[in-house]
Structure formats: structure tokens, C-alpha cells
Structure 1
């Protein structure tokens, strides 16, 4: 799990920053600029958070096995280099613990095959550099303007999937400010 409620708030902010930096390295860009964030359009923070939760719900459905998802809320972060009063991104971290842990390996393989059928482009798939060789899958959805990083922690007790859904860069409607949560 990317976030532990027992972790100090400063450490949580660092983990969110690392996760967002990792995901912004994905292929979602505007005008071919490798370092720009895609525009996700105009929205309030609350509406954008609901969109991210909807994307997470669709991913939950694609997991396709019985289990329990964590009940974590979405958060708001800045769009690197843009006015933080007008521009923001949404992140939604959550985890999935299956009823039968042995099924997770197959879930990751199926997600790697199924996500592209649902508009996602898989940009990374395979074991990470940790000693546990956790399987990671990173995918972008240009239409939805979201990215997801899924990590299968097979050696955790209990084994689980950790998911981080991140939006492109939103602009608040005229006359409004970014609401932080």
C-alpha cells in the first residue's frame, strides 16, 4: 500500500509526490512535450475527484475477482509550474485485497491484456527492482486523461494490489479557486 495511516503527514506528502512524479513520466503529454502534463479540462476539485473515483471504480470492475477495496479518498495536488490557485491534479490511492490471494498473479496478467481493450495504453509491465520483484503495471488513458500505477505485492501479508490513479491537469472555472483536500 502506498499510504499507511500511521505514517507521519510529511512522509505521506513525500510518498504522494514520489508517486505523482513517477506517473507524470508516463506518455500522457500535450503537444509532444515530454515534460508537460495533459490538460484534463475545466472542473471544480470536487467534480474532478468524483471523476477519479469513477475511473477507480471502472478499474475495480476490471480486477474481476472477489475481494475488498480500501475506502480512501481522493486528494488534490499542484500541476507543476502552473498557478496553484487555478490549476490542479487529482490523485486517488487505494488498495485491493482479494478473497483468494492466489488469484492476484492472474489478475495482473489479465489487466495487462484487458486494459488496452478499455482505452488504456500499458506503458510499463513487469517486476520492479525490489528484492520481492513486485509486479507493476502503469497505464495511461488519453480519453479519460488519467494514469494508473498498479503494484502487486505478492509477499505482503495479506497479498494485495496497490493502485494510484492520477488525473491530468485541470483548470478551475473562472472566478473559482482550487479547493484542497
Structure 2
């Protein structure tokens, strides 16, 4: 993934708790890592994550108003929603805007969108995740990591990047919840507002 150490909201359990933010901010795209699947049902090696967290800054996502960038991230989230391939409901609210670390907060910003997807039929949670695993290796998407975390239920995590769109997604499968769902977090690179405009947060 192409993210530096600045945390963004992580995918949420339906009870409101979050997963460790370091997994979203691993910097995989900058390091050029390939997809990995951890057969030991553990999260990525902590030394590697810490090393990647030492990277600073986000990749350049181009020039856009905050409204344009938010719309682009919303469209990515909608694409992911459609790619689940099963009926279900997405949670609110929509994307948020925050400053890019180490850059002029009036000029540079990034967009993040954490949300949940709950299939209408609980048994469709596995189908939705399988569809996303397939989709997020096509159309400019590259899966960077696929692993089971250290939570009690060993939730399946998928991290994928789209370099052309300068976005990344982190998906966590909560199969054992009372209402099975996917925790999804879409985050962008660092945008610059057009000349004469300022960031609106």
C-alpha cells in the first residue's frame, strides 16, 4: 500500500471498535511488495510493518477540489460495493477529508472512507469476499496482502491498491459477528487543490 505513518479511520466492527491502524498504513505500494497470504493465520510481520511505517508522506494524487476528490473516492467505494456481487446494505456516513502529513494543510489533503457492507443473507458473506478477492486483482487493482489477523475469530484481511486511481482499500471479513459484514476502508493519495483555492474539511 502507498500510505505513510499517518493513521486514518480503520474498518469498523458493527459494534464500533476498530482494528490496528498500522495494517492500513503499511506502505506496500511504495515498497513494491507482492501479494502475500499468511498460512499461519497471523497478521503481517511486525518488523516489516514498523519499517514501512517509517516512510513519510503520500503519493501525489494530482490536483482536485475536495468535492472532486470525495466524489472519486465515493465512486471507488461504489465500485467495491457492486463487486461484492450479492445484495446487501452499506453503512453511512460518506468520505471524510484530512490534511496530508508534512504538507501545507490549506493546499494538500487526502480522502478516507470507512464503511461496512452487510449482505442480506448472512451466508453470502463468503461469496462477497470471494468476489472481491477476484475483482481486486483486475482493472488496475493489485492485491498486496491477504491474511488472517490475530483477532479471536482470525478475521480474513485483504489489502489492495489501484495505482492509476491512487487509492487503496483494506477489507476485513467479520463472519462471526451476529450480523456478518465486511469492514471496508478506502483511502486516497495526497491531492493538491487548484490554484487560488483552499482545502475544505
The two structures have a TM-score, normalised by structure 1, of 0.84
| Deviation string, structure 1 residues 73-117 (Cα, Å, up to 9, x no partner) | 110112121111111100011111101111212322232222111
- Secondary structure at the aligned position of 2:24 is classed as helix
Check whether the contact 1:23–1:166 (CA below 8 A) recurs between aligned residues.
Answer: no
Q: Distance in 2 between matches of 1:54 and 1:106?
A: 22
| Structure 2 residue corresponding to 1:86, chosen from 103, 107, 124 | 107
**Other-structure match for 1:166:** 187
Note the 1:9-88 alignment, pairs <5 A. 19=21, 22-29=23-30, 34-88=55-109
RMSD of the alignment, in Å?
A: 2.6
**Other-structure match for 1:143:** 164
The 3 A distance-change label for structure 1 pair 83 and 29 is farther
- Secondary structure at the aligned position of 1:24 is classed as coil
> Which runs of 5 or more residues in structure 2 are unaligned?
1-9, 32-51
**Other-structure match for 1:111:** 132
- Secondary structure at the aligned position of 1:126 is classed as strand
Cα deviation for residue 150 of structure 1 reads: 0.6
Q: Which has the higher helix share?
A: 1
**Other-structure match for 1:176:** 197
> Which runs of 5 or more residues in structure 1 are unaligned?
none
Aligned residue-pair number: 170
**Other-structure match for 1:156:** 177
Q: Distance in 2 between matches of 1:2 and 1:61?
A: 18
Check whether the contact 1:24–1:37 (CA below 8 A) recurs between aligned residues.
Answer: no
More off after superposition, 165-174 vs 109-118: 109-118
